[in-house]
Structure 1
Amino acid sequence: MNSGNNTSTLKNLIFDLGDVIIPIDLTAPVRNFAMLANLPETEVQAIWKQYDILNKYETGLVDDNAFRTHVRQVLKNDSWADEVIDTAWNTVLLDLPVERIERIKELKQNCRLFLLSNTSPIHIRQVNHVLSEMNQPTLEELFEQVFYSYEVRLAKPSPEIYQHVLAKAGLVAEETAFFDDNAANIRAALELGIRAIHVQAPKTILDYLKDI
Structure 2
Amino acid sequence: MIKTIIFDFGDVFINLDKVGALEQALLNFKLENIPEDMVHINSLYEMGLIDNSEFLEFYETSFPEITKDKIIEIWNSILKDFPHHRLEFLKSLSESKKYKLILLSNTNDLHIEFVKSYVPFFKEFESYFDVFYLSHEINLRKPNPDIYEFVLKENNLIASETLFVDDLKENTESAEKLGINTWNIIPGKEDVTTLFETKKELFS
Give the TM-score taking structure 1 as reference length.
0.82
Give the equivalent residue in structure 1 for 2:134: 148
Q: Out of 82, 90, 93, which is 1:107 matched to? A: 93
Deviation of 1:35 (Å): 4.7
Q: How many residue pairs get matched? A: 195
Q: 1:149 to 1:113 in 2, by over 3 A?
A: same
**C-alpha distance in 2, partners of 1:174/1:121?**
32
Q: Is the 8 A contact 1:58 1:118 kept in 2?
A: yes
Q: Which amino acid aligns with 2:168?
A: N
Q: Out of 54, 57, 61, which is 1:66 matched to? A: 54
Q: Is the 8 A contact 2:166 2:184 kept in 1?
A: yes
Question: 1:91-170 maps to which residues of 2 (within 5 A)?
Answer: 91-108=77-94, 109=96, 110-132=98-120, 135=121, 137-170=123-156
Give the equivalent residue in structure 2 for 1:4: none
Give the equivalent residue in structure 1 for 2:37: 50
Q: Pairwise CA RMSD of aligned residues? A: 2.1
**C-alpha distance in 1, partners of 2:112/2:45?**
13
> Secondary structure of the residue that 1:23 maps to in structure 2?
coil
Q: Is the 8 A contact 2:26 2:34 kept in 1?
A: no
Give the equivalent residue in structure 2 for 1:22: 14
**C-alpha distance in 1, partners of 2:196/2:76?**
27
Q: Is the 8 A contact 1:131 1:138 kept in 2?
A: no
Misfit runs of 4+, over 6 Å: none
Q: 1:209 to 1:101 in 2, by over 3 A?
A: farther
> Secondary structure of the residue that 1:27 maps to in structure 2?
helix
Q: Is the 8 A contact 2:87 2:125 kept in 1?
A: no
- 2:23 paired with 1:31: yes
Deviation sequence 1:110-168 (CA, Å, 0-9, x none) = 22111111111111122233332xx4535532321111111221211111100101111
In structure 2, stretches of 5+ residues that fail to align are none
> Secondary structure of the residue that 1:179 maps to in structure 2?
strand
Give the equivalent residue in structure 2 for 1:6: none
**C-alpha distance in 1, partners of 2:116/2:185?**
22
Q: Is the 8 A contact 2:45 2:108 kept in 1?
A: yes
Q: Which amino acid aligns with 1:12?
A: T
Give the equivalent residue in structure 2 for 1:85: 71
